[in-house]
Amino acid sequence: MSTAAETKAATASLPSKGMLIDGNWVDGASGGRITVENPAKRKPIGEVPRANAADVDRAVAAASKAYAQWRKVVPRERGKVLLKIAEALQSRTEEMARTIALETGNALRTQARGEANMTADIFRYFGGLASELKGETLPLGEHVLSYTRREPLGVVGAIIPWNAPVMLAALKIAPALCAGNVMVMKAAEDAPLGVLLMAEICQEFLPPGVLNVLTGYGEECGGPLANHPGIAKLSFTGSTEVGKVIMRAAAERIVPVSLELGGKSPSIVYPDADEDWAVDGIIAAMRFTRQSQSCTAGSRLFLHEDIFDSFLKKLEKKTTALKLGDPLDEATDIGTIINNKQFTKVCKYVDEGLKRSDAKLVFGGLPPKTGPLSEGYFAIPTVFADRSNDWRLAREEIFGPVLVAIRWSDEAEAIRMANDSHYGLAAYVWTHDIGAGLKTAHAIESGWVQVNQGLGQVPGMSYGGYKQSGIGREFSLEGMLDSFTQRKSVTVNLEVRRS
């Protein structure tokens, strides 16, 4: 444990960033700071302001002021601004990728570069959609003109997590601004630097106040943002627990809300898929190379009993060949858990699995206490078997590289177990029998089912959760229209005559 004086000395020379309010890079009203840590070294790498309710007030006021003009900008012009941002982001992807890797612990080669590129793609995708903010006309007869307009909602309050911070920020900023809204976003306290870099790039092209980015803690800054009377829409990505808090805040003021929450997604492997491609797919679906800190991680592996042991053997061979190490090292496949709190939580789950006599450790285990990996929050990919779908490790979102393998023999029973969860975000089905695979895909209660692949989201897909995994869709054209516009009907009587 370091003393307060030591901490102060260690952070005195840290690069210090401001947050974005009304086009300016500012400190928080309290003057407090948050230290950002490199989780691979457990060393501070920067400082950001610790925003509170007063800063939320300032940011919402700036956004409200900017809204009056931004909503009137012709959509195609707003789209052009997003396209310029996309190109500027694209030209700085390496700097962005390094920032993401440094503050999140996600490996540069396998994760952070992909995220930086995807972020530019998201702006490009939504920039091109600006002309699609169309309305409809209703055929009510020759004497009536009735049409709808897609109008923006106003100031969007957005709260994002740390696991893919820049991409998740882009997924809210681009559709919201394209549709004519303005935004106050709170970055996650564990990973604000990439988001601030993106905000800096956005700000080169945006009028002041259209995008405001605050750095602060959940209750201290996210709370006042969720409850602010000037916020017209809430968009949240993070835990189901905090999602409920956000929805309650929205209920108080009847504010629309989009929630992208947790998951405990099933992967169902049929007996004919005991092959290398399926093993690679399971590793991808489990998101082992992002330490499984992903809401779509396929963390419950339902293996047919005929292939149970042989499949796990192949999985062990391929997974243990992945290299854990410094996220910035090009040779690294797997980086680190984000922070001590999450690391401790993941270790507790592993420990519980190890202690249970009725659960078998297939491979993995607790992280090493000495050696280079003990310098950071490195968690080892771990698989437990031999228990059913009913223990804590098979029910709770671990958000770490802990996979449970569960046996099945009857297809209907596999589907029943897969659906026996309060989550319903993603799912994966593995078989050469496409008919069986699709029937199972249709029977699974999840917002996104992949058959024979375990890839990440792409712009354009309608992505979001069933059950407690969330409400609303944001990744697509209809996501933008549903989540960031409201429809107004205008009905005109054409038969009024002068008397």
How many residues does the structure list for the chain? Answer: 499
Q: Dmax of the chain from CA atoms?
A: 92
Interaction mask 276-315, Mg ion, x per CB under 5 A:
----------------------------------------
Give the CA count within 13 Å in the CB-facing half-sphere of 458: 3
The single residue listed with the structure tokens 């702006």 is: 123
Which region, judged by CB under 5 A, interacts with Mg ion, from 37-45, 247-255, 430-438, 442-450?
37-45
Examine the residue annotation and report whether 202 is marked as an active-site residue of this protein: no
Give the active site residue among 37, 260, 397, 474: 260
Any residues with CB less than 8 A from the CB of 482 and at least 6 apart, and which?
A: 472, 473
Any residues with CB less than 8 A from the CB of 341 and at least 6 apart, and which?
A: none
**Residue 4 burial (CB count, 10 A):** 7
The single residue listed with the structure tokens 């919201």 is: 176
Number of H helices, E strands in the chain: 16, 22
From the CB of 186, what's the least distance to ligand NAI, in Å?
Answer: 6
242 binds, among ligand NAI, Mg ion, none (CB under 5 to 8 A by kind): ligand NAI
37 binds, among Mg ion, ligand NAI, none (CB under 5 to 8 A by kind): Mg ion
25 binds, among Mg ion, ligand NAI, none (CB under 5 to 8 A by kind): none
Tokens of 263: 């998951």
Assess 376 for contact with ligand NAI (CB under 6 A).
no
The site that binds Mg ion (CB under 5 A) totals a number of residues, namely 3
**Residue 338 burial (CB count, 10 A):** 26
* CA dihedral (185, 120, 124, 456) positive or negative: negative
Among 28, 37, 296, 335, binds Mg ion (CB under 5 A): 37
User: What phi, psi does 186 have (nearest 5°)?
Assistant: -105, 120
Rounded CA gap, 472 and 493, in Å?
35
User: What phi, psi does 260 have (nearest 5°)?
Assistant: -120, 105
From the CB of 357, what's the least distance to ligand NAI, in Å?
Answer: 27
184 binds, among ligand NAI, Mg ion, none (CB under 5 to 8 A by kind): none
From the CB of 197, what's the least distance to ligand NAI, in Å?
Answer: 17
Interaction mask 102-141, ligand NAI, x per CB under 6 A:
----------------------------------------
Nearest CA among 82, 235, 265 for reference residue 155 = 235
Assess 66 for contact with ligand NAI (CB under 6 A).
no
From the CB of 169, what's the least distance to ligand NAI, in Å?
Answer: 11
Assess 262 for contact with ligand NAI (CB under 6 A).
yes
Among 219, 252, 351, 413, binds ligand NAI (CB under 6 A): 219
Which region, judged by CB under 6 A, interacts with ligand NAI, from 141-149, 221-229, 405-413, 475-483?
221-229
Examine the residue annotation and report whether 295 is marked as an active-site residue of this protein: yes
Contact 88, 205 (CB under 8 A): yes
Interaction mask 332-351, ligand NAI, x per CB under 6 A:
----------x---------
122, containing H or E segment = helix 113-127
The 3-state DSSP class for residue 129 equals: coil
The 3-state DSSP class for residue 411 equals: helix
From the CB of 247, what's the least distance to ligand NAI, in Å?
Answer: 11
Q: Which positions from 148 through 207 interact with Mg ion, judged by CB under 5 A?
A: 190
Provide DSSP, 195-237. Answer: HHHHHHHHHTTSPTTSEEEEE--IIIIIHHHHT-TT--EEEEE
Give the active site residue among 178, 202, 221, 295: 295
Residue (63 or 261) nearer to ligand NAI, CB: 261
Q: Which positions from 150 through 209 interact with ligand NAI, judged by CB under 6 A?
A: 159-163, 186, 188-189
245 binds, among Mg ion, ligand NAI, none (CB under 5 to 8 A by kind): ligand NAI
Provide DSSP, 312-345. Answer: HHHHHHHHHTSPB--TTSTT-SB---SSHHHHHH
Tokens of 365: 């285990």
Residue (75 or 335) nearer to Mg ion, CB: 335
Active site residues: 260, 295
Positions touching ligand NAI (CB under 6 A) are 159-163, 186, 188-189, 217-219, 222-223, 226, 237-239, 242, 245, 261-262, 295, 342, 397, 399
Residues found near Mg ion in the complex (CB under 5 A): 37, 103, 190
